[in-house]
Chain A
Amino acid sequence: MRQLVSWVASAAVGFVRACVVVLVSMLVPAVWAAAAGLWIWWWGGNPWAGTAPLLWAGIGTLALSRPVCRMVRSLVAKWTGTVIPAGYRQSAPVVRMSTGYWWNGYSYERTSRDARQDQRMRLWWSDPATWRDLRFAVIAPFTTGVIAAVPPAGAVAAVVGLSHPAASMRLIGVLGVAVAIGAAPYAWRPVGPVAVRFLRPSPAMALADRVDELTAQRADTTVAQAAEIRRIERDLHDGAQARLVALGMSLATVERLMETDPNRAKALLREARSGAATSLTELRDLVRGISPPVLTERGLVDAVRALALDSPLEAAVSADLGLRLDPPIESALYFGVAELLTNAAKHARATRARISIFGGEGPGIVVDVEDDGGGGAGMRAGGGLDGLRRRLAVFDGTLEITSPAGGPTHVRMVVPCESL
């Protein structure tokens, strides 16, 4: 009984979906049919009567192809969960030059509106995605469109046939019902594979996207690295270096005071010693921030264990990771965990955290950090989590955050295998 109900439900859903697929994929053929109709209508022995309708049909096809593809993409994503990247070229910003003209990356225009229009046209014309969309708009009706048309056609046959008294027509009606119901759960499905096959970005487009992505990442990395080096320089300059100078001065003074005022000399020596201890503490903190010694000595898992022990949270670590990773990846993941634990303690007011590290195969290396805090963590441009996402992106790694208001927070860092 339950099986029957679920089958009926899937047939009903499938029928609706098949109708939607037919509607979307038949938009372009409908334009052509209308043009052909007009041509026949105006036909009066004059073959040139068709020029205007055909021109309109051509323009209509060009204009419709992109919206049709967008709709198919969103339908496939909604129904099957397969996200097909669109791969359209992004427009460069339109800027006003000192001459007062507007530069859109291709040409100078007198007004910003002209510049944008010109840019849109050029982009549209030069974008390989445009031609791919056009190809799909032509292919879709003959593949997925025809198949999806089976259930609606069956339904039409049923309505027409059953309303007719003749026995042969009734038979056609009954057959129509059978076809409509039988094909409904399956007829819409080809839209997925067909869209994936013909709508995904071509290798050239994918490469162009990848180049853009890598260029942006390289710029990010360069900026971050320069900032880090400046921070280290400043810390050394104002910290250890200054303290060593002070130490040298104290010792020089002690040398002089040794005979004349031994008591002050002793006090100065004590001061110098505590100065040296302080500068060592500062240097240790600095080193920890650059490359934690325990990470160098023991690798990621033990370093995270050490981190968990030092954390004010009750943090449990479970790990299943045989191999040592590349130092840059270890470092990125280590600082990621450190940041997440700090966030959990400081912002989410958590008391417990669970860290698990596993991988080496399949998706790559996965690091999960869960806490029992207040949640509400999110990515803000320039924030800590955004920085973490960028550091992982260098290795094609990803950061997933699930943090509903009220908690708990679950963050997953994944670095794919190829970068190991």
Chain B
Amino acid sequence: MRIVVAEDLYLLRDGMVRLLEAYGHQVVATATTGPETLDALLSRRPDVAVVDVRMPPTQSDEGLRAALDARRRLPGLPILILSQHVEQLYARELLADGAGGIGYFLKESVFDADQFIDALERVAGGGTAMDPAVIAKLLSSGSSNRRLERLTEREHDVLGLMAEGLSNQAIGQRLFLSESAISKYTTSIFGKLGITDDGNNNRRVLAVLTYLNKP
């Protein structure tokens, strides 16, 4: 894959480039500031970009804004946001356009390189990948609490993994269950929450996240 890496700290940028190249991907551009990031995203049109939230010149949410800006101009441009902290607020902003191709992770998710690359590929393919920490917050927030009361504990777990962006097969592997058992759970969850499932994984994740994001 052709990848753009936007990260202002040299150590982390260098580490990320090495990791991606070790997995056989090509880093076509790196950026260290917000404007540079926007420029690289628009001119290079990468298969996927890895973007840090906080960057110069303002040291605020430059990276996030560059990503949102680029996606407004190139809808669905796959971007994975990396940050030292995750906020539901940012997750909602990223998911708001409903176009998919979005990932949002804590920086330490890179520690499990296989899973990280897996998530990156999912995003590149137009899917959605969310850090478990984001999903945990979504599931436990005030408005979700009440609506998810009807789910069993197991269904709760499956819903969480589904929201992270995993396929039934991947969920089955995580929970040591068969794929068919998982699809039974998902049918039951969708029934209880009133979401329609058309079998397309990406659309399914978006539907779940939209449901959880409802105020």
Contacts and interface: CB of A to CB of B under 8 A. Distances in A.
Interface of A: 273, 276-277, 280, 284, 287-288, 293-294, 296-298, 302, 305-306, 309-316, 351-352
A312 B146 CA distance: 10
18 contacts: A273-B111, A280-B108, A293-B84, A294-B87, A294-B89, A296-B59, A298-B60, A298-B61, A306-B88, A309-B87, A309-B89, A309-B141, A312-B141, A312-B142, A314-B146, A316-B215, A351-B142, A352-B142
Interface in B71-105: 84-85, 87-89, 92
Contacts of B64: 297
B142 A314 contact: yes
A284 B88 contact: no
Interface in B132-146: 137, 140-143, 145-146
Contact of B142 (A277, A280, A284, A311): A311
Contacts of B112: 273
A287 B108 CA distance: 16
B54 interface: yes
B86 to A, nearest CB: 9
Nearest to B62: A297
Contact of A284 (B60, B85, B215): B85
Main secondary structure of the interface of A (DSSP, over half): helix
A298 B108 CA distance: 23
Identify the interface centre among B87, B88, B146: most chain A CB within 10 Å of its CB.
B87
B108 A276 contact: yes
A296 B143 CA distance: 26
Contacts of A315: 142
B48 interface: no
B53 interface: yes
Contact of B60 (A297, A313, A351): A297
Nearest to B60: A297
A314 B146 CA distance: 10
Contacts of A287: 84-85
A284 B84 contact: yes
B53 A297 contact: yes
B108 A277 contact: yes
A192 B89 CA distance: 53
B91 to A, nearest CB: 9
B112 to A, nearest CB: 8
Interface of B: 53-54, 59-61, 64, 84-85, 87-89, 92, 106-108, 111-112, 137, 140-143, 145-146, 215
A128 B88 CA distance: 59
A302 to B, nearest CB: 6
A312 B145 contact: yes
B188 to A, nearest CB: 26
- The 6 A-B pairs at the shortest CB distance, nearest first, are namely A314-B142, A309-B88, A306-B89, A297-B61, A297-B60, A313-B142
Identify the interface centre among B108, B137, B146: most chain A CB within 10 Å of its CB.
B108
A309 B88 CA distance: 7
Nearest to B58: A297
Contacts of A302: 89
A280 B92 CA distance: 24
A314 B143 contact: yes
Nearest to A288: B85
Nearest to B65: A297
A280 B110 CA distance: 13
B140 A312 contact: yes
Contacts of A284: 84-85
Given A309-B88, A312-B141, A312-B142, 9 more contacts: A273-B112, A276-B108, A293-B54, A293-B85, A296-B60, A309-B137, A310-B88, A310-B137, A351-B142
Contacts of A311: 141-142
A294 B88 CA distance: 11
A137 to B, nearest CB: 60
A313 B106 CA distance: 25
Nearest to A277: B108
Identify the interface centre among A314, A315, A351: most chain B CB within 10 Å of its CB.
A314
A303 to B, nearest CB: 9
A358 to B, nearest CB: 20
A277 B88 contact: no
Given A276-B108, A276-B111, A277-B108, A294 B85 contact: yes
Contacts of B92: 309
B54 A297 contact: yes
Contacts of B54: 293, 297
Contact of A305 (B89, B106, B108, B137): B89
Contacts of B53: 297
Nearest to B59: A296
Contacts of B85: 284, 287-288, 293-294
B211 to A, nearest CB: 15
Contacts of B59: 296
A355 to B, nearest CB: 12
A338 to B, nearest CB: 14
